[in-house]
């Protein structure tokens, strides 16, 4: 049975939101000043907002038997459990990567955020850990069935 949750970091972390908005405003003002044209500052603000959209706008996660899906405001990312080669699961989120080593710009990686509510975050973390373990067990069984040394 799939587990779905939505996180909205800007709403859940108001102090961080204020700091982030101040930094975006300061960077936009700096660029506008250096370029001596407000349009550059406005463009910088738009670009920074787009880059930070997973923080400012809600993200929906779905964990099911076949993989993890993250629906960001501007894109959708799906990582099948069989492709996960490296994972780190913590109290506030998880990193799922399709490569053994970290790659430039985080390609092949999905950062999953859990709910700000501790009880819900624990349920989400346990579901992700259970599904990861199930996929690993299936991969080991499949390797053994195919005659691959495990």
Model confidence, pTM: 0.77
Task: Express each pLDDT in 65-118 by its tens digit.
Answer: 888 999 988 889 888 888 888 888 888 888 888 876 666 555 667 888 888 888
Contact 106, 51 (CB under 8 A): no
Q: CA-to-CA distance for 122 and 118, rounded, in angstroms?
A: 6
Domain spans, the chain: 3-145
Task: Express each pLDDT in 79-91 by its tens digit.
Answer: 888 888 888 888 8
As a residue count, the chain comes to: 150
Q: CA-to-CA distance for 45 and 23, rounded, in angstroms?
A: 10
């Amino acid at each position: 049975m799939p587990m779905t949750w939505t996180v909205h970091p800007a709403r859940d972390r108001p102090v961080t939101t204020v700091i982030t908005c101040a930094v975006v405003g300061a960077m936009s003002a700096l660029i506008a000043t250096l370029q001596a044209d407000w349009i550059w500052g406005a463009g910088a603000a738009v670009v920074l907002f787009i880059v930070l959209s997973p923080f400012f706008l809600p993200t929906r996660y779905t964990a099911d038997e076949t993989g993890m899906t993250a629906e960001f405001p501007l894109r959708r990312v799906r990582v099948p459990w069989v492709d996960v080669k490296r994972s780190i699961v913590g109290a506030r989120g998880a990193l799922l990567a399709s490569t053994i080593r970290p790659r430039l710009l985080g390609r092949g990686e999905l950062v999953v955020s859990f709910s700000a509510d501790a009880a819900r975050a624990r349920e989400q973390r346990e579901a992700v850990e259970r599904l990861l373990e199930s996929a690993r067990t299936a991969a080991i069984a499949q390797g053994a069935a195919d005659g691959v040394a495990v």
